[in-house]
Structure 1
Amino acid sequence: MSYVTGLIRGKTFTIFIILLIVLSQAGFAQNYINPQAMALGDAYSSVAKGYFSVGYNPANLSFPSNYKTYINLAGLNFITTNNFISLKTNAKYGGKDITANGGKLQKELISEIPNKGWRYNSGINIPVPLLNFSTGNKAFTTNFLYITDYYFSKPALEFLFGGMEKDTEYDLDLRCDAMTAIEYAYSMGIPYNNMALGFSLKYIQGLGYYGLDPNRSTGTVSVDTILSGSGNYFFREACGGRGFAIDLGIAFQDLNGWNMGISISNFAALIKWNYNTLFSDIVGTSMLKFMGGQLKSGNPGIDLDFEGESYNYSFLINDVSGEKFFQGDSNFSNSFFSTGVIDTTDTSLFKVRLPLVLRLGLSRQINNDVLLVTDLTASFGDRLNYWKGWRCSFGMEYTYLPSFPLRLGVSFGGLSGWEINLGSGINAGFIHFDWAVGFHRGLWLHTAQGINFSVGAYLTRKVKSLK
């Protein structure tokens, strides 16, 4: 029996296995995705209207639209994505002994793992019916968020899958965040000629959280003439919390035929967990238990109640002969030590920051039927479904049949790597229905490494014409 196989079967690195099974659950925080924005590849900051402007550019509330009032009836926005696994990958490696035939599949698997490591994200965003609306230059929005974000560094996966080499130190970098929350926002646009300013004041009601504390979760293993290593991972939970954030925007209309928008989202965004509020006292541990139940459904061996406790896991590998290690000696258990301590009384307050997001958008109405849009987005953090770096998006809306608009979009960078999106809608007087679907890092269902889907319905009221 190889060292890694024995390590896994012996449940020495329990936290590794807990996180590895997360594909059994679904948990969007990159923005307030909606069907129109999704279909346009998220290139939406210069064309969003009504309450759809919130999360993209609140300054757009200042500009006239075909409708004075927007009221949400229902909606669902879903994403699941990663940068490695697809149905094709699963068919190749799933359920197979990767160490057979001299470890041929094992070597192929390790070579295909991205150098930046493996990251898995999922999310659900549900706009609460009737509590997302706008009239004139003001909007009020209420969204339920369920977010999961997991990361394994490539060295950690190489170690886990037995792809170790001599004279190498393996950094066992792991990240884990899962959160449910309700986010309320009051937004307003302030017009000035063809320019406008806007802001959103956001209150975040935390319902449940679990994750690894990034400042207290590290581990390394060195493989040389001897094998040695140590690590500590602090897993914490919270049943309630609250936070605040500000979005700011500026927009311009008709700059030589172009519309432009610039916005900053999540300015000073911070959530304090284990902070009791009246709402969290009413909800209690029910939401956290639901989140934990989703995680435990893929790994029933998890011995956590998800009632707000913390779990501290540590391991130590004493010096082991490298010769015996690479020969797969079965007596390694005498040299490996691990402890796991559950603290059911840990109610200490801790903070989670939401990454800052910068957007620059341009759009142009080519003719009566064709609208072209583009956005350049930068995220300044790698947490809670935000991906640090730049993202470029392009979209087109075709309205030859105004009651049945067609939308296409592509984007490069960010959480989904690259994606292609399409969508449409039905505009039946004051009732509107939109849908969109997108594929990540693949054009076909079996090669795609992620998918997003969005549907929504809303009511509108037109601006009264002057006679």
Structure 2
Amino acid sequence: MNRKIFKVILTLTISVVLSNAQVFHTARSISLAGAYSTYDTGPDALLWNPANLGHSNIKIGFSFGIFPFVPFNSLRLFNNSINASWFNKYMASGLYLDENKKKEMLSFFSAEGLNFAGEMCGRIIGMRIGHFAFSTNLHFISSGNIPKVLLDIPFRGIKLEQDIELDDVDAFAQSYMSLDMGYGHLLESDIINSYFDSFSVGVTFRLLLGIETATTKDVNGTISVFKDGISMEGAASIKGGIGGFGCGIGAGISGKMKERLSFGLSVNNLFSFIRWTKSTKEYEFEYRNFLKPEDFFDDEIDSLFEAGIISDTLKDVSPFSTVLPVYIVAGFGYNYSKKLDIYASMIQFVNESWYSSLTPTFSVGAEVRYLPILPIRFGINFGGESGFRWGGGFSIGGRTYSFDFGFSQDSGFFNKARGFTISFGHEFRF
């Protein structure tokens, strides 16, 4: 693979992934803000708690989320600093930005700069047959960071002889397909039956087919402005792979008590990894140049920038692995009445990654069924990478078919939120 093709693919991986979103969430889990661990007994349970499959009373079911021309069924975008209200006030209102306004505007960014993330899941098909379930999904994940010093430049410019350090620029993107299958089995004994109406154990096995991965490495550089020109120097490398294979497992337990109370505990993505073995490359370059003011008005400015490249290499590297974060899910559900169910869940990632936080997430949600054909769901959660999230959604349908919709926002409400998730799905049941 030549250098230009590899760079184009890596660029598309990072930019396309940022426009999509979501890892293991669905319309129902999003509307409950993640209070979902005991809710589903179908394909969704594979990545929440496979033991729930043991409680399924549906013989055959199919679920999918892909509309024509819409290649995803859940999309999430999130950042750590700004929201729609910030954009409307400072960027879209025509407000004159004096020094105080610029200072106020830039105060929204933390010292570490602008962190952003995107996740997407496109379910091709999910299927349940009795206590078995199978699901095929496309996953796209990305995250990155822009240092605060770079965010200052468009509004404050660069002071003479000020050094702009570029060491904190990071980006990561990964896409893969998962083939998930699982089984839930009801256990019975005198001891179990004395405490539980039903008790199940379950396991999920995952086949992971890597599509693309790319991450920045060893980014460093400096931009300095002088009276007679701009000095730029730096180096960076991007490591990536196209094509890989991996696997993983998950396991859980789930029980129902006193006809109304349910609980569950699961460990997911155990030993999950993708081994990238095809087209594993590393692109490295070094740059050093001094541009004078008149150079920026030169028709050959592109060649001037290219002339500053000291080295530009694309080399083969040994196969490498990326690990999917392990997470624990615990929760319970309570059937308060025929028209109201209450749920609570806790999600704890075991290892930190580009798109997971070691801060646990606690969720509470409810489903209201005053109209049997229109269940309404809502929930809130605290913790995780966003600190706070609220969600809401609904289903339309009956016993054999339902259309599901879910929407949530991160770190605030409406224009004050710094991220959002939207999802939809369908399910046929027989």
Tell me the TM-score normalized by structure 2. 0.77
Structure 2, unmatched stretches of 5+, are 1-10, 67-72, 189-197, 225-230, 294-306
The answer as to whether partners of 2:182 and 2:204 remain within 8 angstroms in 1 is yes
Match of 1:244 in 2: 247
Q: Deviations over 1:257-305 (max 9, x none)?
A: 53111111221121122437xxxxxxxxxxxxxxxxxxxxxxxxxxxxx
Q: CA deviation at 1:22?
A: 5.6
Match of 1:44 in 2: 36
1:208 to 203, 212, 224: 212
Is residue 88 of structure 2 the alignment partner of residue 85 of structure 1?
Answer: no
The answer as to whether partners of 2:336 and 2:342 remain within 8 angstroms in 1 is yes
The answer as to whether partners of 1:209 and 1:238 remain within 8 angstroms in 2 is yes
1:399–1:96 Cα change, 3 Å: closer
The answer as to whether partners of 1:59 and 1:190 remain within 8 angstroms in 2 is yes
Is residue 49 of structure 2 the alignment partner of residue 57 of structure 1?
Answer: yes
What's the secondary structure of 2:106's corresponding residue?
helix
Task: Quote the Cα distance in structure 2 between the aligned partners of 1:221 and 1:264.
Answer: 47
Match of 1:268 in 2: 271
Match of 1:110 in 2: 106
Match of 2:355 in 1: 385
Task: Quote the Cα distance in structure 2 between the aligned partners of 1:58 and 1:345.
Answer: 42
2:63 to 69, 72, 77: 72
Match of 1:455 in 2: 424
1:367–1:98 Cα change, 3 Å: closer
Task: Quote the Cα distance in structure 2 between the aligned partners of 1:24 and 1:126.
Answer: 12
Match of 2:136 in 1: 142
What's the secondary structure of 1:45's corresponding residue?
coil
The answer as to whether partners of 1:203 and 1:243 remain within 8 angstroms in 2 is yes
Task: Quote the Cα distance in structure 2 between the aligned partners of 1:231 and 1:393.
Answer: 45
Task: Quote the Cα distance in structure 2 between the aligned partners of 1:250 and 1:235.
Answer: 42
The answer as to whether partners of 1:28 and 1:385 remain within 8 angstroms in 2 is no
1:272–1:218 Cα change, 3 Å: farther
Q: CA deviation at 1:62?
A: 1.0
Q: CA deviation at 1:197?
A: 1.8
Task: Quote the Cα distance in structure 2 between the aligned partners of 1:143 and 1:84.
Answer: 31
The answer as to whether partners of 1:77 and 1:452 remain within 8 angstroms in 2 is yes
What's the secondary structure of 1:239's corresponding residue?
strand
The answer as to whether partners of 2:22 and 2:76 remain within 8 angstroms in 1 is no
The answer as to whether partners of 2:165 and 2:220 remain within 8 angstroms in 1 is no
Count, aligned residues = 385
Match of 1:419 in 2: 389
The answer as to whether partners of 1:274 and 1:347 remain within 8 angstroms in 2 is no
Structure 1, unmatched stretches of 5+, are 1-17, 223-227, 277-307, 319-328, 331-336, 462-467
Q: Deviations over 1:4-46 (max 9, x none)?
A: xxxxxxxxxxxxxx99x96995034542x11111111111112
The answer as to whether partners of 2:288 and 2:309 remain within 8 angstroms in 1 is no
Q: Deviations over 1:81-101 (max 9, x none)?
A: 112122222234448999974
Q: CA deviation at 1:364?
A: 0.9
Task: Quote the Cα distance in structure 2 between the aligned partners of 1:457 and 1:191.
Answer: 27
The answer as to whether partners of 2:261 and 2:334 remain within 8 angstroms in 1 is yes
Task: Quote the Cα distance in structure 1 between the aligned partners of 2:158 and 2:272.
Answer: 40
Task: Quote the Cα distance in structure 1 between the aligned partners of 2:21 and 2:64.
Answer: 20
1:351–1:221 Cα change, 3 Å: farther
Task: Quote the Cα distance in structure 1 between the aligned partners of 2:271 and 2:64.
Answer: 31
Q: CA deviation at 1:196?
A: 2.1
Match of 2:303 in 1: none
Aligned alpha-carbon RMSD (Å): 3.8
Tell me the TM-score normalized by structure 1. 0.71
1:110–1:49 Cα change, 3 Å: same
The answer as to whether partners of 1:50 and 1:139 remain within 8 angstroms in 2 is yes
Q: Deviations over 1:333-357 (max 9, x none)?
A: xxxx975744344253222112211
Letter in structure 2 aligned against 1:138: F
Q: Deviations over 1:152-171 (max 9, x none)?
A: 455675689769999x9978
**Higher mean C-alpha displacement, 90-99 vs 172-181:** 90-99
Match of 1:369 in 2: 339
Structure with higher strand content: 2
1:312 to 268, 272, 284: 284
Q: CA deviation at 1:447?
A: 2.7
1:231–1:270 Cα change, 3 Å: farther
1:368–1:350 Cα change, 3 Å: same
The answer as to whether partners of 1:313 and 1:341 remain within 8 angstroms in 2 is yes
1:449–1:412 Cα change, 3 Å: same
Task: Quote the Cα distance in structure 2 between the aligned partners of 1:36 and 1:420.
Answer: 13
1:441–1:240 Cα change, 3 Å: same
Letter in structure 2 aligned against 1:149: S
Task: Quote the Cα distance in structure 1 between the aligned partners of 2:233 and 2:77.
Answer: 33
Q: Deviations over 1:45-64 (max 9, x none)?
A: 1222111201101111111x
Match of 1:122 in 2: 118
Letter in structure 1 aligned against 2:185: I
Match of 1:305 in 2: none
Q: CA deviation at 1:383?
A: 3.2
Q: Percent identity?
A: 22
Letter in structure 2 aligned against 1:118: L
Match of 1:408 in 2: 378
